[in-house]
Amino acid sequence: MLIPFCKLYSFYLQTLEVFDTNQDFVSVEKEDLAETLRKFYCEATPKANEKREKSLPEHHRNEYHRNTLVNIRSAINRHLKDICRNMDIVRDNEFVKSNRTLDGFLKSRTEAGLSRPTQHKEILTNEDLEKVAVYLEKYENSPVILREAAWYIIAVHFVTRGMEFHHQLRKDSIEFKTESDCEFMFLNQETKQKNHQGGASCKNPLSEKRVYATGGSLCPVKILKLFIAKQSSNATMLFNQIDNNALLHPESTEVWFSEKSLAKRSFEKFMKSISVSAKLSQHYTGHCLRATAIQRMNDAGFEARHIMFMSGHKNEASIRSYNRGCSITQKKSLSSTLSALTDPNSARQIVKCKPSTQTLHATESSKPATQVRFLDHSTTDDMPSSSALHGIFKPPSGRLYSICARKIAINP
């Protein structure tokens, strides 16, 4: 039976409607599915809607993006595995023809100029990060801002997609500890996410991530402690609705949040609300924070395996779409250098990327300015310090951040 709210089935329903076949994933034979997919890849088109008409030129409105078709194939493959069908539509010989059809179709679209580039999630600019920091600094006087600040901290430091596991967190899911005079917090609860479904072979790394105190005005540990203290004693979940009295008189109200938890869909609005309230240059999403965090760690010089530890990705190929390869400053430097070839007079104004020498445990002069590494004594490996992510919460502008009683200069 086809489930209408599942995107995978909605794509497949379109296939059934277009080609008038009677197939379902439980009983379909490999040859029949391969033939249907071969036609689907070439002839399926998205439904017209107002959003596509506004955002896409006319010649792109009736075409699925390359990644969409590839993702549909991957989703069908995962579903076949989930229902214990012994077939792989990517690798099995029976599907070679359909996969060649998909490959050839995408190539022909590129030749015809109908293929459009991948639109990545927007990275928050330093100017917008500064605005967010200024806005969230008012968290002690407003229950709305305090809740947004708590959500923002968790989204950034645990490198989440913004809404996928916040609604699962309980009031006692966060623990605070002190080790070697360093206070930090961590999650003591496993959560279900896109890359971690909770099966027998699943390893959830969230419990191993730590968020260290900074001692600054936007110290993440301080904010989360206050957020938990303002919860109702009868509340079980971490994110709850705001009490009406707290909205009107926050200074005289001890408890700011009720015991009624937020709906999952509420978390979709948090980053948009912050974007509007902080007057950012555009409306960002929660996933933009994840992309910003991954890009910041990449710019800071962390290895792919360390970024994967924080993001939860299972292979390096998955994080390549997040890592833009070059920061804005580096792109300006590259452009200026090449401009000197066509306009020699512009050579005087070339923007150069100058690596900073103020790093801890930095032995290579080519490492970026914000590289900070701490030694993990259990594995003798350099592990990511939370300072790179503190820079997102309090963006780099020459300030000093207190990390474990050490002062570290973070330069743009």
- Give tens-digit pLDDT for 329-376: 777 777 777 777 777 775 555 455 544 433 333 333 334 433 333 344
Give 45 or 351, the one with higher predicted confidence.
45
Of 283, 311, 339, which residue sits at a domain end? 311
CB 271 within 8 A of CB 288: yes
Give the span between the Cα atoms of 227 and 346, in whole angstroms. 52
Phi, psi (degrees; rounded to nearest 5) at 184:
-150, 165
Range with top average pLDDT, 247-261, 329-343, 360-374, 397-411: 247-261
Q: Are residues 292 and 333 in the same domain?
A: no
Q: Are residues 138 and 243 in the same domain?
A: yes
Percentage of the chain with pLDDT > 70? 70
pLDDT over threshold 70, residue 388: no
Number of H helices, E strands in the chain: 16, 9
The tokens for 75 are 């989703």
> What is the extent of the structural domain holding 385?
323-409
Q: Are residues 241 and 217 in the same domain?
A: yes
Residue among 267, 270, 269, 284 nearest 127 (CA):
284
- Give tens-digit pLDDT for 302-322: 888 888 888 877 777 777 766
The reported pLDDT for the residue numbered 360 is 32
Position 2 in a domain: no
Q: Are residues 81 and 218 in the same domain?
A: no
CA of 382: how far to CAs of 196, 282, 317, 352, 373, in Å? 25, 36, 22, 29, 6
Position 83 in a domain: yes
Q: Are residues 73 and 142 in the same domain?
A: no
Q: Are residues 164 and 298 in the same domain?
A: yes
Grouping H, G, I as helix, E, B as strand and the rest as coil, residue 144 is helix
Please report the DSSP string for 164-229 in residue order: TTGGG-BTTSEEEEEETTEEEEEE-S----SS----TT---GGGG--EE---STT-HHHHHHHHHH
Residue among 203, 215, 184, 125 nearest 385 (CA):
184
Long-range contacts of 252-256, Cβ-Cβ distance < 8 Å, separation of 24 or more? 254/230, 255/230, 255/231, 256/143, 256/146, 256/230, 256/231
Position 21 in a domain: yes
Give 338 or 325, the one with higher predicted confidence.
338
Q: Are residues 280 and 304 in the same domain?
A: yes
Mean pLDDT over each residue of the chain, to the nearest integer: 77
Q: Are residues 48 and 17 in the same domain?
A: yes
Categorise residue 279: left if φ over 0, alpha if ψ from -120 to 50, beta otherwise.
left
Give 14 or 379, the one with higher predicted confidence.
14
Q: What is the CATH number of the domain that holds 193?
A: 1.10.443.10
Position 116 in a domain: no
Q: Are residues 165 and 55 in the same domain?
A: no
Give 40 or 177, the one with higher predicted confidence.
177
Give 337 or 195, the one with higher predicted confidence.
337
Of 266, 283, 311, which residue sits at a domain end? 311
Position 118 in a domain: no
Position 121 in a domain: no
Position 119 in a domain: no
The reported pLDDT for the residue numbered 340 is 77
Domain count, the chain: 3
The tokens for 281 are 């240059």
Q: Are residues 194 and 296 in the same domain?
A: yes
pLDDT over threshold 70, residue 21: no
Q: How many CB atoms lie within 10 A of CB 276?
A: 11
Confidence of residue 10 (pLDDT cuts 50, 70, 90): low
Give the span between the Cα atoms of 266 and 165, in whole angstroms. 12
Of 79, 111, 143, which residue sits at a domain end? 111
Q: Are residues 297 and 328 in the same domain?
A: no
Q: Which of 28-42, 180-194, 293-307, 320-334 has the least mean pLDDT?
A: 320-334
Give the span between the Cα atoms of 316 and 305, in whole angstroms. 7
Mean pLDDT, residues 145-163: 87
Position 257 in a domain: yes
Q: Are residues 192 and 130 in the same domain?
A: yes
